[in-house]
Amino acid sequence: MGARRVAAAAGRGSRRSAVRLRRPRAGCGKRRDGEASSRTRWVVVVRARQWRDGLAAGPRPGTAGRELHMSQTKNFNLPDLGEGLPDATIVEWFVKEGDVIKLDEPLVSMETAKAVVEVPSPFSGKVLKLSGAAGDIIPTGSVLASFELDPNLPQRADGQDTGHSHGHAAPAAAPTPPPLPAAAAPVATEAAKPAAAERDDAGTVVGAMQSSNAVHAEQALAVGGVKAVPAVRATARKLGVDLSRVRATGADGAVTMADVKQAAANGSAKLGAAPAPVAAAAYAAPAPAQVSAPVQSEARTPLSAAGKPMRTQPPGVVAKGQPEPLKGVRRNMARVMADAHSKVVPTTLNDDADIHAWLPGNDVTARLVRSIVVAAQKVPAMNAWFDGEALTRTLHAQVDIGIAVDTDDGLFVPALRNADMLDARGIREGVNRLREQVESRSIAASELSGYTISLSNFGMFAGRYATPVVVPPCVAIVGAGRARHQMTPVMGGVEAHKVIPLSVTFDHRAATGGEAARFLRAMMDDLALAS
């Protein structure tokens, strides 16, 4: 194609195009049949700029001879906020479409199965699109937000990337970003190892955030004039509490978890409720409603001789409840339990531990933990991990016990590390610390995995025996029921002894029935001691 034809074609594609042609090198030309020879090297540089409404129609002063800058659009894909978590739930957006945000400023608060994570912006520029609203579930790797980069604001250099894929520029012809080369990730990982030798992924490594083995206090973020950490904001949204109307008692005027729960209990800061004087609320005219309600009830439902409503017809087929998607911890719990049920071959043994000899002041949880440690040391096969695919078993010298913690959001199982090295006081302090961190949603993700055996002390509520679920790779789990008194035969008669029901579920692929029975016997013998 000649230079004139190339220029004409470029001119038809864009009214404002800078076209530069380089002449072919000496000796290069065209064949007589019209096809370009292999030595022909035409270099055509075309830079087009799409002018939008409201922008200047002509070129800027001083840009003659320069390539015009094209605005760049980038997508931010939701990174893995934990250890292989498949999705996360939007708790609260800190920006809206059209806002301008700077690098590392708070973008959104996300709830995972392990924590409420504040995700910073990976770019500086204008927010073009937000994918989803509060409560929506976003799969890991899906587009979370789209940005129009601002070249006048600071951007993260390629060498400063945190290692997460935040999306790529979306070209017009290929909206799907190309995958990164397979060799790129290992190189970045190896280079980062020396500097991060003592750091673990706490499930919140996004943007410029870093994590370590230590438990860090979340920083209270001021949004809408209210300072609160993401976990507090998530709890307030769940309880229907307006943070702007909560009396803050935390440091620097931050709203704490206790403030939110107190406001929810007394109803002083309900969402959408307009503040009203107490007198007006007390002396409002409720008489018509109070008088008409019983009349309507009598007209609808007949009463029994005791004055209680009776149902004379079966309920209608239309149910009032509506299905809602599981989120956060409950969503992850459903996956984990289903996966465990499909892989493990569970078998459960039950018996009662006689604690008649206990001295006053014994801590039930501490004694249960100690008995598990003693039994695990006598029967190491129960304090182990099992890989069903590779058919390998790993016996552990240390005893890390997963303590099941029940919450309104679902089940957490934090790990009590090195339980074999703790005394009764250390066990109690460790359990209290884990429970407090779970309730405040400040526990690190690294504390929610890696245990070698687990304990479910469901007896503090109700129940005697159970078939607790073994979650791979663990081999066993201990369940403790509600203590009770029973008649026990002794020399010369019977006595009322206090007992604790025990249930031990084990994976029969990795342990034998004899090993499980000896483990249970060792627990019972230790619990029978006075202290």
**One domain, residues 256 and 343:** no
For 92, the enclosing helix (H) or strand (E) is strand 87-93
For 388, the enclosing helix (H) or strand (E) is none
**One domain, residues 258 and 341:** no
Distance CA 509, CA 387 (A): 10
- DSSP code, position 405: E
Sequence-separated (6 or more) residues with CB below 8 Å from residue 332:
85, 112, 113, 114, 410
The amino acid that residue 216 corresponds to is H
**One domain, residues 358 and 256:** no
pLDDT at 317 (0 to 100): 61
Task: Please indicate, yes or no, if residue 457 is contained in any of the structural domains.
Answer: yes
CATH of the domain at 425: 3.30.559.10
**One domain, residues 335 and 247:** no
The amino acid that residue 196 corresponds to is A
Among 266, 287, 302, identify where a domain stops: 266
**One domain, residues 342 and 234:** no
Distance CA 215, CA 211 (A): 9
Report the predicted TM-score, pTM, of the whole model to 2 decimal places. 0.58
Joined tokens for residue 380: 């190491």
8 Å CB contact between 457 and 323: no
Classify 275 as helix, strand or coil. Answer: coil
67 φ/ψ sector (left φ>0, alpha ψ -120 to 50, else beta): beta
pLDDT tens, per residue, the chain with 531 residues? 454 554 444 444 444 444 444 444 444 444 444 444 444 333 333 333 443 444 444 445 544 444 445 568 999 999 988 767 888 889 899 999 999 999 999 999 888 877 788 899 999 999 999 999 988 999 999 999 999 999 888 888 765 544 444 433 334 444 444 444 444 444 344 434 444 333 333 332 333 333 333 333 445 556 667 888 777 887 887 788 888 888 888 877 888 888 888 888 888 777 766 554 444 444 444 444 444 444 444 445 566 666 666 666 666 666 677 888 888 888 889 999 999 999 999 999 999 999 999 999 899 999 999 999 999 999 999 999 999 999 999 999 999 999 999 988 889 999 999 999 999 999 999 999 999 999 888 888 889 999 999 999 999 999 999 999 999 999 999 999 999 999 999 988 999 999 999 999 999 999 999 999 999 999 999 999 998
Task: Please indicate, yes or no, if residue 199 is contained in any of the structural domains.
Answer: no
Distance CA 285, CA 359 (A): 61
pLDDT at 305 (0 to 100): 65
Residue closest to 76 by CA, chosen among 165, 188, 208: 165
Residues written for the chain? 531
CATH of the domain at 256: 4.10.320.10
What domain range is 28 assigned to? 3-48
Find how far residue 458's CA is from the centre of its chain.
25
Distance CA 83, CA 204 (A): 10
Among 29, 48, 67, identify where a domain stops: 48
Classify 386 as helix, strand or coil. Answer: strand
List Cα–Cα distances, 469 to 370, 390, 412, in angstroms: 21, 22, 14
Please state whether beta strands 73-77 and 226-228 pair in parallel, antiparallel, or not at all (unpaired).
unpaired
8 Å CB contact between 419 and 373: yes
Sequence-separated (6 or more) residues with CB below 8 Å from residue 284:
none
Task: Please indicate, yes or no, if residue 195 is contained in any of the structural domains.
Answer: no
Q: Where are the alpha helices (DSSP H) in 285-362?
A: 287-300, 328-343
Residue closest to 403 by CA, chosen among 419, 421, 384, 424: 419
8 Å CB contact between 98 and 127: yes
Dihedral angle sign, alpha carbons of residues 337, 338, 340, 341: positive
pLDDT at 22 (0 to 100): 47
Task: Please provide residue 490's backbone torsions phi and psi, each rounded to the nearest 5 degrees.
Answer: -135, 175
Torsion, CA 97, CA 103, CA 108, CA 112, rounded to 10: 140
Task: Please indicate, yes or no, if residue 316 is contained in any of the structural domains.
Answer: no
pLDDT at 266 (0 to 100): 82
**One domain, residues 491 and 350:** yes
The CB-based long-range contact list for 211-218 (8 Å cut-off, 24+ gap) reads: 211/444, 213/444, 213/446, 215/437, 215/442, 215/443, 215/444, 215/447, 217/442, 218/118, 218/442
pLDDT at 452 (0 to 100): 98
Task: Please indicate, yes or no, if residue 153 is contained in any of the structural domains.
Answer: no
pLDDT at 224 (0 to 100): 62
Among 266, 290, 320, identify where a domain stops: 266
Joined tokens for residue 268: 């002083």
Distance CA 137, CA 111 (A): 9
Residue closest to 474 by CA, chosen among 460, 500, 456: 456
Q: How many structural domains does the chain have?
A: 3
Residue 335: CB atoms within 10 Å: 13
pLDDT at 20 (0 to 100): 44
Task: Please indicate, yes or no, if residue 255 is contained in any of the structural domains.
Answer: yes
**One domain, residues 458 and 342:** yes
Q: What is the 3-state secondary structure (H, E, C) of 169-203?
A: ECCCCCCCCCCCCCCHHHHHHHHHCCCCCCCCCCC
Task: Please indicate, yes or no, if residue 171 is contained in any of the structural domains.
Answer: no
Distance CA 122, CA 163 (A): 12
**One domain, residues 442 and 369:** yes
Q: Which residue in this structure is represented by tokens 């320069």?
A: 66
Distance CA 248, CA 488 (A): 55
Distance CA 491, CA 182 (A): 74
Task: Please provide residue 238's backbone torsions phi and psi, each rounded to the nearest 5 degrees.
Answer: -70, -35
Task: Please indicate, yes or no, if residue 469 is contained in any of the structural domains.
Answer: yes
Classify 136 as helix, strand or coil. Answer: coil
pLDDT at 397 (0 to 100): 96
